[in-house]
Structures are given as structure tokens and as C-alpha cells.
Structure 1
Amino acid sequence: MKKKDVSHKVNDAENTQNTSETKEERAAKAAAAMEEMLNEEGKEDECEQEGVDPKDQQIKDLQDRLVRNMAEFDNFRKRTEKEKANMFDMGARSIVEKLLPTIDNFERALKSVPEGKECESFAAGMDMIYKQLLKELEAVGVKPIECVGHEFDPNFHNAVMHVEDESVGDNIVVEEFQRGYTYKDAIVRHSMVKVAN
């Protein structure tokens, strides 16, 4: 490629730029265009020196570019799938957080059912609905945190009371005030507990 052609392309690159660009930006773009032209010229010279047909070299370069673009697209696809899965999990977790107060109300209602034959069938029906709700939540990855009788773990439990109790070991959860839940091994809500010292 002749120097006239290179300078002509550099001037074209400068003229087509937006007038709002700074001189530094235009100079950088002109230098990049000049470097690209010199690289192309250098490749042609290399091909001639090595006895390789410039067309074969161009085919090789295009194949290399194709392989890189395919790899880049594959990485993009994997990244997009991962982001989509994360978005789904965030949405599901948000829904679970909104359902937890309803589950708490079921538990409170079942504990407050008065004794008597007239309430037994109602309480049994409520208990069946409660268990079905927990079963469906467990099917999608929501599990209650087991805590009473287990050692206190700040990753899963929120201690709101301490009690001195020699019959129970140190740092053992003795009572649960509000049940905690996990969604796919991530904490949705910590268990509110009483811990023995």
C-alpha cells in the first residue's frame, strides 16, 4: 500500500469524526487508523517474504477471527444464562419472603385453636393446608431451619434472649420464637431463638 493511500485514509478518518471530539481523541483515532494500515501493509510484506499467498493469509486471519467470535459468543451465552438463573432465584426468594408472614399466621392460628370437638375438624383442615403449603415450598427449595436442641449458629439464628440453664449445654438453642427459612441453602430469614448460657 502506498503512503499516499495511507495518508488519504488517515485524513478520511479525521474528516468523518464528529466535530465535538477533542484534538486528542482525533489524534488517537488517526494513529489507530495509521497503525491498522501499517499492520495490513506489514502482513502483506511478510506474506511476500515467506512465500505465502496474501489470500491464504487473509483466509487464515478470517478463520482465526471467526473462532474468537464464536468463543466470545459462547461466553456471552453462558454469562446470560447464569444471570437469568440468578434473576429467577432473586424473584423466587422475594416471593418466599412475602409468604413467610402467612406461614407464621398459620402456626399461630393452629396453636390458639381451643380444645373441643366442634373445633377439631376445623383445626385438622387448617393443619392439612399448613402442611401442604410447607410441602410445596420445600419442593421448590424452601426449608425451615431446625434449631431447638442444636448449637447456636449466628449464620442461621438470631438470639433475642439468653437463659441460664445447667441441664442444657452452653450455646444450645432452647426455644424458637419465630422459625427461620432457607431457599436453596441461602438464608431467607434467621430463626429468632432463646439460647442457654
Structure 2
Amino acid sequence: MKIKNIFKNKSEMDTESTNKEVIENETENVVNEIETAEELSIEAKLEEDLANEKDKFLRLFAEFENFKKRTTKERIDLFRTANQEVLQAMLPVLDDFDRAMVQISKSEDEILLKGVELIYEKLKSTLVSKGLEQVDIKAGDVFDADFAEAITQIPAPSPDLKGKIVDVIEKGYKLGDKIIRFPKVVIGQ
């Protein structure tokens, strides 16, 4: 009976050791699966973080490119209109010269007229070289509020001048494409 018990204990021991091995193998498999899942989770998180950083970088790069374009455009505009204040300050002097030329041309002093004409032409050419242009509007043109400022309306001297410019009171000037002083006109109604 002792031998039978020994075999019985031995088979129980074998079964127990087999069960332990199975449990250890299953435990090891579960631990491996958890570690693999953690590695995949960490890898996915790293990929997501990398994608977020790439997106931030691309947005920052695009914002910087827009900044460069905007500042370049502003700089070009600044250079283009840098003289604007000086030229605007010179416009009343140019108007005074126009009025003086009308009065001097009525006098009989040819030498005075030639001297003032030389100075006037030199001033005009200097202003033109800096980008100043006269707005081309004359009596008889159709009035356009985008290019002229109406001071007053008078009854049209003739029916064909209704809604048109009757007289130009003050010349207009532009710097490049920008009008810096609108011509002041009288409109026929």
C-alpha cells in the first residue's frame, strides 16, 4: 500500500508540477502581452507626439513665411511712399508757382519770366523724378468721385456739361498709383 501511495503521490506531484508549469507559462504569456501592449502604447504615443510637433513646426514655418512676405511688402510700400510727406508739403509751393507764372506772363519783363520759368521747370522736374505726377483732369471730363473732389455745383453753362467738370480749382497729384491730393473741381448740374 505504501508503494501505491507513493505512486499516487508521485502522479499527484507530476500533475501539480504540470499545473505549475502551465500557470507559469500562462503568466509569462500574459506578462509578455502586457509588455508588448505597453510598448505599442508608448510607440503610438510617441508617433502621436511626433505628428503634433511636426504640425506645430509646419504652422510656425508658414507663419514665419507670411511674416517675411508681409514685412517685405510693407518695406516696398514704405520706400515707394517715403517722400509722400515732403511732396505733399511742396504742393502749395507748386501751386504758388503756377499762380506766379500766370501773373508774370502778363508783365512785359521777359528776363524775369524766363528766370522764373527756369526755376519752375527745375522744381517740377525734381518733383517728377521723385515720383510725383499730376492727375490728368480738365474741364469737360466726366466727374468721377474716385479721382476728383467736387467743391460745388453750378448751373451748367451748356447742356453738354451737365454732370461734367466745368472748372478745375486746384490741381491733383499722385505718387505712384496713390493719389496724395485730389483735384478740386466745380461740376455742372
Q: Which runs of 4+ in 1 moved over 6 A?
A: none
Question: How many corresponding residue pairs?
Answer: 149
Gaps of at least 5 residues in structure 1 are 1-44
Partner of 1:176, secondary structure, is strand
Please say if residues 178 and 193 of structure 1, whose CA atoms lie closer than 8 Å, have aligned partners that are also in contact: yes
Q: Is the 8 A contact 2:81 2:175 kept in 1?
A: no
Q: Does residue 115 in structure 1 map to residue 108 in structure 2?
A: yes
| TM-score with structure 2 setting the length | 0.62
Corresponding residue for residue 160 of structure 1: 152
User: 2: CA distance between counterparts of 1:187 and 1:47?
Assistant: 68
Larger relative contact order (Cα-Cα within 8 Å, sequence gap ≥ 6) = 2
- 1:39-118 to 2 correspondences below 5 Å: 48-49=40-41, 52=43, 58-88=49-79, 91-113=82-104, 114-118=107-111
Q: Letter of the aligned partner of 2:129 in structure 1?
A: E
Identity of aligned residues (%): 22
Q: 1:118 to 1:46 in 2, by over 3 A?
A: farther
Q: Superposition RMSD on alpha carbons, in Å?
A: 3.1
TM-score, scaled to structure 1: 0.60
1:128 aligns with 2:121: yes
Name the counterpart of 1:16.
none
Query: C-alpha distance in 1, partners of 2:122/2:110?
Result: 19
Partners of 1:47 and 1:132 lie apart in 2 by: 78
Question: Higher helix share goes to which structure?
Answer: 2
Q: Deviations over 1:45-76 (max 9, x none)?
A: 89724x84765555554434322221121122
Computing the radius of gyration from Cα coordinates, the structure with the larger value is: 2
Deviation at 1:165, TM superposition (A): 0.9
Give CA deviations for 1:98-144 in whole Å, capped at 9, x if unaligned: 1211211221121121233332431331342144134324xx2x322
